[in-house]
């Protein structure tokens, strides 16, 4: 993962099982990861607790379906550009 992010994410989902979500602000108590631990700072041996995939399979995600509530109109615009940008990057 690029250490210089263009957009600050705080949640990452496992791209293998698509069930696990790692939240940087909350950390992961069950895995012994402290709150506010950036995904790039996770230990090299970190793996998805559901399927066992390595941390390289964690993909940035902006949660919009009830978990993320935009605070301002600027947040709404930024979210829309992040979503369209992520689809364009996959191309």
pLDDT tens by residue, 26-40: 999 988 999 999 999
From CA 49, how far away is CA 35, in angstroms rounded? 17
Residue 16, classified by CB atoms within 10 Å of its CB into exposed (0-12), middle (13-18) or buried (19+), is middle
Label residue 84 exposed, middle or buried (CB < 10 Å: 0-12, 13-18, 19+): exposed
Q: What was the pLDDT predicted at 85?
A: 47
Structure tokens at 21: 């979500």
Judge whether residue 78 has pLDDT over 70.
Answer: no
Q: What is the model's pTM?
A: 0.60
Backbone angles phi, psi at 5, to 5 degrees: -75, 145
Tokens of 22: 């790692």
């Amino acid at each position: 993962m690029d250490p210089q992010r263009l957009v600050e994410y705080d949640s990452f989902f496992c791209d293998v099982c698509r069930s696990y979500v790692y939240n940087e602000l909350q950390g992961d108590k069950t895995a012994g990861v402290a709150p506010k631990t950036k995904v790039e700072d996770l230990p090299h041996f970190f793996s998805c607790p559901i399927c066992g995939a390595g941390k390289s399979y964690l993909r940035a995600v902006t949660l919009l379906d009830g978990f993320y509530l935009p605070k301002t109109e600027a947040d709404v615009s930024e979210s829309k550009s992040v979503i369209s940008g992520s689809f364009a990057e996959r191309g």
